[in-house]
């Protein structure tokens, strides 16, 4: 993973380079189109230009929630005296990369807490935003984007899989409790497999009831957890 010198740096946050792969921009364009289309459904009766503009602002808010979560880990990592080396942006979730993972269990836990704390604050701000915003307006639609993104990230990062904060915190808490790293990894893997099975079954049940969109989302989440638990997705 130290072969990232050829990956351009978008900006530097807290002395940590935020690097971006080309696929990230394709994802941004796709998200922009999706949010503009959803805006036409959620906030009807406006011009195409208005939907494109609001969709663009929505993308910025979603990226602030998502990339901001990753950047917040740089703060907790420095507090843990185990600084992050790179934030890597691609077509999937932002990656927080540490070349040196030979740090004490408490350092692993502390540096995993920055992102969830950021998303929790973002979720609370979003709830306040929605309470104050007038319904069926561009402002309320943008508040929904901000709140939904932060809320989804906050819930998702506590999944018991190795590549998100919940799995990391669980593993090193188990190690602090006396388990070996191998035992802790195995338990996290079992929990991840169990959660993925629950999600897949839930998706099947929703599909049988013809709730296709929600079924598809839950199925994708279950397959993602399965891949992460099996170390296919890293």
pLDDT tens across 51-100, in order? 999 999 999 999 999 999 999 999 999 999 999 999 999 988 899 999 98
Instruction: Give Cα separations from 52 to 34, 158, 222 (angstroms).
Output: 10, 33, 32
- Torsion, CA 203, CA 208, CA 210, CA 215, rounded to 10: 0
pTM: 0.89
Q: What is the 3-state secondary structure (H, E, C) of 8-71?
A: CEEEEECCEEEEECHHHHHHHHHHHHHHHHHHHHHCCCCCHHHHHHHHHHHHHHHHHHHHHHHH
Distance CA 189, CA 196 (A): 10
What is the widest separation between alpha-carbon atoms in the chain? 61
Q: What is the pLDDT of residues 217-227, one digit of tens each?
A: 888 888 888 88
Strand-pair category, 86-89 with 16-20: parallel
Looking at residue 2, its pLDDT comes to 57
Half-sphere exposure of 98 (CA within 13 A, CB side): 19
What's residue 226's pLDDT?
Answer: 85
Neighbours of 31 (CB within 10 A): 17
**55 Cβ contact list (under 8 Å, min separation 6):** 32, 33, 34, 35, 36, 37, 39
pLDDT for 1: 47
DSSP element (H, E) containing 156: helix 138-156
Consecutive 10-residue runs of the chain (234 residues): their mean pLDDT? 80 96 94 93 87 95 96 96 95 90 94 95 96 90 94 89 90 93 92 90 88 83 84 76
């Amino acid at each position: 993973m130290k072969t990232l010198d050829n990956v351009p740096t978008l900006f530097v946050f807290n002395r940590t380079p935020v690097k971006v792969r080309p696929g990230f921009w394709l994802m941004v364009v796709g998200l922009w189109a999706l949010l503009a289309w959803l805006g036409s459904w959620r906030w009807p009766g406006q011009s195409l230009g208005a939907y494109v503009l609001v969709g663009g602002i929505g993308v910025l808010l979603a990226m602030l929630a998502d990339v901001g979560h990753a950047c917040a880990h740089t703060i907790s990592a420095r507090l843990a005296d185990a600084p992050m080396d790179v934030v890597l942006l691609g077509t999937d979730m932002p990656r927080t990369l540490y070349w040196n993972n030979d740090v004490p269990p408490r350092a692993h836990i502390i540096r995993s807490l920055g992102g969830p704390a950021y998303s929790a604050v973002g979720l609370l701000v979003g709830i306040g935003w929605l309470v104050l915003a007038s319904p069926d307006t561009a402002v309320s639609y943008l508040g929904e984007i901000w709140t939904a993104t932060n809320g989804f990230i906050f819930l998702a990062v506590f999944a018991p899989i190795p590549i998100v904060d919940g799995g990391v915190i669980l593993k090193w808490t188990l190690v602090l409790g006396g388990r070996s790293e191998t035992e802790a990894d195995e338990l996290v893997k079992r929990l991840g497999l169990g959660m993925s099975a629950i999600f897949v079954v839930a998706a099947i049940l929703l599909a049988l009831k013809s709730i296709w969109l929600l079924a598809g989302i839950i199925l994708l989440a279950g397959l993602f957890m399965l891949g992460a638990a099996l170390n296919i997705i890293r």
